[in-house]
Structure 1
Amino acid sequence: MHLNDTIARVTERVIERSRPARSAYLDKIARAQDAGVKRAHLTCGNQAHAYAAMGDDKAALVAEEAPNLGIVTAYNDMLSAHQPFKDYPDRIKAAARAAGATAQVAGGVPAMCDGVTQGQTGMELSLFSRDVIALATGVSLSHNTFDAALYLGVCDKIVPGLVIAAATFGHIPGIFVPAGPMTSGLPNDEKAKVRQKFATGEVGRDKLMEAEMASYHGPGTCTFYGTANSNQMLMEFMGLHLPGASFVNPGTPLRDALTDEAARRAAAITAQGNDYRPVSEILDEKAIVNGIVGLMATGGSTNLVIHLPAMARAAGVILDIEDFNDISAATPLMAKVYPNGLADVNHFHAAGGLAYMIGDLLDGGYLHPDTKTIAGDGLALYASEPKLKDGALVWEAGPKESLNDRILRPTADAFQPTGGLRELKGNIGRSVMKVSAVAPEHRVVEAKARVFHDQDAVKTAFKAGEFTEDTVVVVRFQGPKANGMPELHSLTPTLSVLLGRGLKVALVTDGRMSGASGKVPAAIHVSPEAADGGPIAKVRDGDLVRVDAETGLLEVLEADFDARSPVTADLSANETGLGRELFAAFRHHCGQASDGAGTVV
């Protein structure tokens, strides 16, 4: 199948833009490969410390003939998505022994929940927790005793942080091991209605709590298609999961079999064998472009527009917002999963899921078929799905037709001809908007601005009845340098109510809105940010602003705008409390959101 012209053109542009950085990265990896991961490099004292607690595995570790797998785990039992990881190390160790290998928990990384910190102070640590996770993974693998790594993580910043580290240690193979989504609970649209009623005072906190608990009710990833599930999709499209591993529920025999197989496969692709597959050879320009295609075809999380550039940069690949915009324009939207539909990820998986989607995108020429993956050569392996046959794990061809065309459609009959993301730019800066859940009649807003410096002030103005006309709500000083770039998702119910009242409303912010930005048009990640003196700091109350997702325009329509000086804000309140003081170095040294807001690469 001929590769789509736009996908080919963007890939060549990424390759050319990345040439110096990618070359330097591969040279670094080659030096690490030449040095090898040989435990004989350690002194006897070094090795004794590394093996002291390993019991029956000591002999194999000392002999150095068996591959040794490092487990990096994001386990904690506060995150429903990560609670299942509690028992994974023992499973992995047993499967490794059966495959003639050994495994050790190399280290743990923090994993915070944006659902818990949404609208709270702790959210100001969230984005930079990605960089902390990368650093913690670096510490975990720095002992240099591992021939491959198994990365146990699912949610928002955890997978990107682990990928950054996996690319940095790109001379060793790495497999990402998910835990799967929780079973379906209260439908997401019903939960959203209760949230909106609470925002207007129609129901009390008791009803809100009842709805939230019925939705988030057990172990596993949240079932809406936000950042966590977008991460899982990405790992398959980029070949870092076993095929079909993403959306198998926790605590099932198939989930356990996939975890066992991840350990066996990790042992098989080390340098000791004849199928060496280091991360550096998997995470290349084509794999990353495939990931962006998957993001657009599924209408995935806007957070990945920040995380993917940071992940790619760790592998010497340089992305730009224009790459996302152009790929989105060429990629059909194949899925309708909440918030851009009523289905959840379990329904999506049952309708054919990623196996159907990857197969159809390959047939349509939207994906590079010739990428190297942890499962083998060629992305076509990911058009298959895992099954248990007489207790044995096998892969069979995935469905060739959608099993529910209200959830999943082929590229030839997609929900819309373009993907779920747009770049908006103009005299306010560069931004992105997730339009997959935004109705066409809401994608263009021209109205007066109301300017705020925090999300609580927006809610206060709403409760005071101040929004009575079409409005562009500008929330600035929310970027990474200002306060760590918290998600402003808690504004969604408020702004949705205004939309429901028949007002035209849009959000413009240098903050984030997460993977569940929903039906309100939101120009987010505005760069340069206000704290860096970006033009968004020039906007005034009453300015006429045009937010146009059809033409990609983000403009203040005032003649004197360019001549204005940007305002400043007192950000001292963001500097202390709940650990924010520990993250001062991240805020001071991070890059722009458009470049991934990174601090470690």
Structure 2
Amino acid sequence: MHPVIERVTQRIESCSQALRAAYLQQVETARQAGPHRGALSCGNLAHGFAACGSSDKQQLRSLTQANVGVVTAYNDMLSAHQPYHDYPQKIKQWVREVGSTAQVAGGVPAMCDGVTQGQPGMELSLFSRDVIAMATAVSLSHNMFDSTLMLGICDKIVPGLLVGALSFGHLPCIFVPAGPMPSGITNKEKARVRELYAEGKVSQTELLDAEAASYHSPGTCTFYGTANSNQLVLELMGLQLPGASFVNPSSPLRDELTRVAAQQATRITDLGTDYTPISKIVDAKSIVNGIVGLIATGGSTNHTMHLIAVARAAGFIVDWDDFAELSSVTPLVARVYPNGEADINHFQRAGGMAFLTYTLLEAGLVHEDVHTVAGFGLSRYTKRPELIDGKVSWQQGPQASHDETVLRSASAPFSPHGGLSVLSGNLGRAVMKTSAIPEGVEDITAPAIVFSSQHQLDAAFKAGELDRDCVVVVRFQGPQAIGMPELHKLTPPLSILQKRGFKVALVTDGRMSGASGAVPAAIHVTPEAVDGGLLSKVEPGDLIRVGVHSGELSLLVDEATLAQRQGAQADLASSHVGMGRELFGGMRSQASGAEQGACVLFPALSPEVTRGQ
């Protein structure tokens, strides 16, 4: 193992001892009753199988065969989730083939961030993760299940399902993807048309044509945003079958992988000899593996919050210092849009997860000695699935990239360091996705231009007020303010300013997500403006330094002047009502900071167990 990877892992284990021990005790207490249907009264159990067929009823009465609980995030609003429409019936049949049963335990909401970008509904997006976690717990609370299958892919959905599943840590859990849509027009071309539209050079019809040619069929969007980052992280954590992440929907291999996952869920229960609960899989080593994979590929910055929340659900304390230290030694081995021109299908053809896992293992950057849903050892994930005589067979994956413009070995990477930086200074702490920032972009010191919404910036850009070197501040966007929406409307105008030759950077307590691009963006600033952050005291014209390389985030105003400022106030009332936002007031008021996962599910840690205390 690389000594830094080992050191970070050991530090996470050491500082988390009390929390992890309490979590494992909770898991053991839940396990002790054995198959939980045995704890149900006759009336309880009769309700539980009333709608089943006669053969399934007999199996459920016997208490000796596995019953698999399916939690589904299906809807046909999300292109990525539309293929799930017939998964439950297929899973039930495939599970019956091995003498077990399956039931749909419940459904969870699934928001398409692509539909809600720039819209009021986006202000519910981040909190939907915690709603999904709670809905998963409700789904599994019937005590009918010996293992679980999670049907989810996209942005907040996978982290929510995972946090919910970890609250039932005594149950085995396998995530079942549905795969990416085939490639449409290139992501670079899509971005070009968006920028032309922002400048008023193409019509709305032309823009819609380009968007529809990019997002064109069932399956996950092909750029490397949070959805595809979810799949990569899950696989490296051992929570999906090897090579399952990026097989296109409706292909014979996709169906067979789902069959194997369904039947594997019956084999790793506490009823047999290969008991592998999710609490055994998700430990400090697997969490580090997931973070390293994310960093090595320039994945979504959303995971600087999601993986912290996931770790906490499993009894571990992780913070941005861990991400930064891992990034300092993790090479960047992938170039997938917005960190390159390729899409996720090109990544798959270049060697995909099998080669990525192989090269990270060879370099000692991920732990091999981990439990997975496929058995012990991450080396299983260097193999790729193939159909042989109609059945899945795992064959040795490539040990060299098939396309070094997309995927490289850890010994000859695109960059010796990962795609993520942590910034610190008097403005607080923030993260920056650096993998897509062009070479030659230096640390930026420039006057601030201050906004309280992405819509204000859009108007200023169209009025020609931003044609200068500037640090754009968009504040009052954090979790306590308005739910921390993604601010994608900022990307085209800021990219245009950069291409015009201006030095430009973004500072915000909101999110930019997996689509963070070429403009240096200090995002997730914490503490946020409404929670005492210095961001609230920034005035137009103040000099701000954004350290692309130095890691600095500083407001260059003397302390005496700052002491005289009261701090701006924003009228956020319009973001607190309408589109269901009034129902989330309690979550906004109790949300933790971005570095604590922007979460409402866990109590604040006391000083004696937090990092560095």
**Mapping for residues 34-433 of structure 1, pairs under 5 Å:** 34-55=32-53, 56-433=55-432
Counterpart code for 1:283: V
SS in structure 2 at match of 1:515: helix
Quote how far apart the aligned CAs of 1:258 are: 0.5
Q: Is the 8 A contact 2:458 2:489 kept in 1?
A: no
Task: Say if 1:427 and 1:562, in contact at 8 Å, map to a contact too.
Answer: no
User: CA shift at 1:41, angstroms?
Assistant: 1.0
Asked if the contact 2:33/2:39 (under 8 Å) is kept, the reply is no
What is the CA–CA distance in structure 2 between the aligned matches of 1:35 and 1:427, rounded to whole Å? 52
Question: Shift in Å at residue 443 of structure 1?
Answer: 4.4
Q: Who is 1:474 aligned against?
A: 473
CA contact (8 A) 1:435 1:443 kept: no
SS at match of 1:567: coil
Q: Is the 8 A contact 2:455 2:489 kept in 1?
A: no
Q: Deviations along 1:466-486, whole A, 9 cap, x unmatched?
A: 012100000000000000000
Quote the Cα distance in structure 2 between the aligned partners of 1:509 and 1:574.
17
**Conserved 8 A contact 1:244-1:384:** yes
Question: TM-score, normalising length from structure 2?
Answer: 0.97
Correspondence for 2:10: 12
Query: Helix, strand or coil for the counterpart of 2:153?
Result: coil
Q: Distance in 1 between matches of 2:430 and 2:479?
A: 14
Identity of aligned residues (%): 58
1:74 counterpart letter in structure 2: A
CA contact (8 A) 2:35 2:271 kept: no
Displacement, 1:455? Answer: 0.6
State whether structure 2 residue 595 is matched by structure 1 residue 594. Answer: yes
Work out the number of aligned pairs and report it.
Answer: 599
Tell me the alpha carbon deviations over residues 478-522 of structure 1, each in whole angstroms, 9 at most, x when there is no partner: 000000000001210010111111101000000000101111110
Aligned-partner Cα distance in 1 for 2:24–2:568: 44
What is the letter of the counterpart of residue 568 of structure 1?
Q
| 1:578 aligned partner, one-letter code | M
Give CA-to-partner distance per residue, 1:112-152, whole Å, 9 cap, x none: 01100001100000000000000111110000110000000
Secondary structure of residue in 2 paired with 1:412 = coil
| One-letter code aligned to 2:22 | A
Is 1:25 matched with 2:26?
Answer: no
User: Quick check: 2:474–2:508 contact (8 Å CA) kept in 1?
Assistant: yes
**What's the counterpart of residue 608 of structure 2?**
none
Distance 1:500 1:461 in 2: 18
Runs of 4+ in structure 1 off by over 2 angstroms are 35-38, 440-443, 560-568
The answer as to whether partners of 1:14 and 1:318 remain within 8 angstroms in 2 is: yes
1:40 corresponds to which letter in structure 2?
Answer: G
How far apart are 1:565 and its partner, in Å?
3.6
Asked if 1 retains the 8 angstrom alpha-carbon contact of 2:35 and 2:63, the reply is: no
Name the amino acid aligned to 2:123.
E
2:489 match:
490
Q: Contact (CA 8 Å) 1:534, 1:566: kept in 2 or not? A: no
Give the 5 Å matches for 1:567-586.
567-586=568-587
For the Cα contact (< 8 Å) 1:443–1:521, is it kept in 2?
no
**Residue 562 (structure 1) shift:** 4.7
Could you report, residue by residue, the CA deviation over 1:188-237 in whole angstroms, capped at 9, with x for unpaired residues?
00000000000000000010000000000000000000000000000111
* Amino acid corresponding to residue 576 of structure 2 in structure 1: E
Q: What is the distance in 2 between the residues matched to 1:187 and 1:570? A: 40
Q: Extract unaligned runs of 5+ from structure 1.
A: none
SS at structure 1 position matched to 2:16: helix
AA aligned to 1:67 is: A
CA contact (8 A) 2:73 2:157 kept: yes
What is the identity, as a one-letter code, of the residue corresponding to 2:358?
G
